[in-house]
Amino acid sequence: MSTPSGRFIGAQYFRPPNPDPADFERDLSLIRELGLKQVRAWLYWSQVNPRLHVWSFDAYDRLVLLARANGLAVFLQLVSESHPQWFIDAHPDARLVSWEGKPLEPGADGMVAVGGAPGLSPDVPEVAEAVNGFIGRTVERYRGQIHGYDLCNEIMPYGGITPHLYHPATQERFRSWLKEKYGTIDALNAAWGGQTFTEWRQVRLPSQGTHAMWLDGLDFARQWIAEHLKKRCALVKRTDPGALTVLHTGGGVTVVTREAMDPWALGEIADVWGTSDYETDFFRSSFLHDATASAAGSRPWWLSEQTGGRTYNLFGDRTRSPEWVEQKMLQAFGSGAQANLVWQWRAERFGQESPHFGLVEEDGTPNDRTRIVSRLALALERHRELLASARMPPSPVSLAMDWRVRVFEWASYGKLAPFSEPETLGWHRALCELGIAPRIVSFERLTLEALAGVKVLILPLAIQDFPGIQETLAAFVEQGGCILAGPYFFLYRSDAFVSAQTPPEAMARLFGALRQELLAGVQPAISARAWGAHRERFQFPGFHVVETFRLAGAECLGRADGNPVITLNSVGRGVAMRIGTLAGTAYGSHQAPAFLLWLRALLEWRGCRCLQCGTPGAVVRAAETDKGSLFFLFNTTDRPLATTLPGAPRQAMDLLAEATLRARGRALRVRLAPRQGRLLLVP
């Protein structure tokens, strides 16, 4: 069995009915010749088990045989949610149920053109047994022959903020979950603000309701999804212990910022955690990659899907340039990814997603995108030992996310993360432009161990208290850390009631300030200064919220209309800071240079090294190797630019072009085409 090692590139290849099996031999030979190391195939339950007691894996057997003959690893996407029609007919009451209470009729969609999507409820015993039979039979058949399995494509169909968990069998599981948490129906009524349930059978997974109801509903959903996928992973490992297990989320930032799933919990289940990425903005992709890497922890992560060309349906919306495709791959490798899988080799030839996504032309002919991906794949092989020695330095900055915020937003607005997503992305963008690769951390998993090596912790919107977190934050600051917390900090208690004092008493002591007034719907201008002996002045915008503070020991560093909105308090060896506006959103919208200068001054004051390029629009990630510094350099714009590298070296080796770049003047200037990425080694 061929098993790729190091950093590698692969391609989605077979998703029935694409491509024609007559093209297998020619395509697989070309794929390996161009330097790719793995092919993925979607194995639909409905295709291998079209009739009761009838199983046929012929097409997949042939694909595995030909791929292995060409030195390619094979990776199977198990699509258990493509139930065959005979099984659907036998179990009509097992259909998934929407939040409106309507059964979902299985059929064909872009992901499953062969039909059977979105599947049936796995909480129905007959469904669970049959799905286990499909997975077990498949893994047993290919034991020892393939690289591994992805257990659920993009965690579909369970990721939405109202996931398809309203089947009566799942409702019963939710009631059992609530019984274990609250014990009595009276305790549940009190926790949900005074409901009047008299029997557990009256309780339903919410489709509307208060913050507290949604917090329970979505917490159950997150745990349900993880438990469901743990069972799949365990089944594969029991059947073929040597097979790699993989999970990956959907195609953009929203899977981290808006959906019910818990990436950090899912990242602990399989051998590899991953994501699709169809984002068109560089910084959104960068956040998605950093969040995926953080959720993977010590495990490898893959960019499991990125388009090789056009998107999406029929007349399409855009075509990615060769530089764009290559940059996306380099972005992922710059965030520590082990693999990139192109979606896909040939363009779709049937269904809603046709005629798009191909890395080659419809007839299989290579094009400029194919050639640039091949160049990168071959460079990864040439420099395999160098890249294996690359060490991404631990980030000194953590950017925390709390899933509860989007629950509050959904319950309040019926919208998905209208404030928390842009606020988080704005802070992340500013850090990227400063050359900082932040750890994206789950607020509910924040411990002193998780903060080891972190110098600055940014909490854009940590609006709800929960047990143990105040002690962790206080200890982090006392031991030398810096916290920068945004507005609404712990406005809500852990029971989802508004606190009588914001922030609570222990946090008021930590930050040396209390909230004085809260204004919404404003566009504040912030006048800020630096700290200590540094007295520079900065003027930058806030957004939508102004939270003014009553000082109780803190120093005022910034004002809006004369009122304190930025504070600093020294505690132990560290500092605790507040900024009472949505500064990340303001920066994401306007990229105010003064805010970036203010943030850089803060980070450098706390001992964080910034690696800015010499030109706006150019962004760099760095790693150390046995032979020097490795720079992943990106042009984030749609115009050409030239820039200098951090440290102003006089020469560098371009590892993709195999060329030495030398300074013609006082410093080396590197030219970048629109959306181009380069991989440079500075000895």
The pLDDT tens digits for 570-600 are 999 999 999 999 999 999 999 999 999 999 9
Task: Assign 3-state DSSP to the chain and report helix, strand, coil percentages, each to 5.
Answer: 35, 25, 40
481 vs 606: CA distance, rounded Å: 8
Q: What is the mean pLDDT of residues 130-143?
A: 98
pLDDT score at 111: 87
67 vs 69: CA distance, rounded Å: 5
Q: How confident is the model at residue 533 (pLDDT cuts 50, 70, 90)?
A: low
Q: How confident is the model at residue 664 (pLDDT cuts 50, 70, 90)?
A: confident
Q: How confident is the model at residue 207 (pLDDT cuts 50, 70, 90)?
A: confident
Q: Which residues pair with 577 in a beta bridge?
A: 484, 568
Lowest mean pLDDT among 53-57, 366-370, 528-532: 528-532
Q: What is the mean pLDDT of residues 268-285?
A: 97
For the beta sheet containing 651-654, the strands, ordered from the edge strand earlier in sequence to the opposite edge, are: 618-625, 628-635, 677-682, 651-654, 659-662
Residues with Cβ < 8 Å from 48, sequence gap 6 or more?
Answer: 55, 56, 57, 60, 134, 138
Q: How confident is the model at residue 180 (pLDDT cuts 50, 70, 90)?
A: very high
Q: Which residues pair with 651 in a beta bridge?
A: 662
423 vs 543: CA distance, rounded Å: 10
pLDDT at 228 over 70: yes
Q: What is the mean pLDDT of residues 520-534?
A: 86
More confident residue, 111 or 533: 111
Q: What is the mean pLDDT of residues 606-614?
A: 93
Give the end-to-end CA distance of the chain in Å, rounded to a whole number.
Answer: 37
If you average pLDDT over every residue of the chain, what do you get? 95
Task: Please write down the HEC assignment for all residues of 72-131.
Answer: CEEEEEEECCCCCHHHHHHCHHHECECCCCCECCCECCCCCCCCCECCECCCCHHHHHHH
Q: Which residues pair with 464 in a beta bridge?
A: 492
Q: How confident is the model at residue 247 (pLDDT cuts 50, 70, 90)?
A: very high
Q: How confident is the model at residue 532 (pLDDT cuts 50, 70, 90)?
A: low
pLDDT score at 68: 96
79 vs 313: CA distance, rounded Å: 21
CA-nearest of 678, 641, 644, 674 to 659 is: 678
Residue at token pair 């808006």: 258
CA-nearest of 542, 611, 534, 616 to 579 is: 542
Token duo for residue 616:
């706006």
pLDDT score at 1: 61
Is the peptide bond preceding residue 344 cis, with omega within 30 degrees of 0? yes
pLDDT at 670 over 90: yes
Token duo for residue 52:
């009761």
Backbone angles phi, psi at 253, to 5 degrees: -55, -30
Using a pLDDT cut of 70, give the percent of the chain over it: 99
Token duo for residue 492:
């809500």
12, 341 in Cβ contact below 8 A? yes
Alpha helices in 183-210 (DSSP H): 185-191
Q: What is the mean pLDDT of residues 623-635?
A: 96
pTM for the predicted model, two decimal places = 0.97
pLDDT score at 662: 94
- What domains are defined for the chain? 8-160+244-385 (3.20.20.80), 397-605 (3.40.50.880), 618-682 (2.60.40.1180)
387 vs 219: CA distance, rounded Å: 40
Per DSSP (E only), the strands in 277-391 are 301-307, 310-311, 318-319, 339-343
Residues with Cβ < 8 Å from 176, sequence gap 6 or more?
Answer: none
DSSP labels, 549-571: EEESSPEEEEEETTEEEEEEEEE
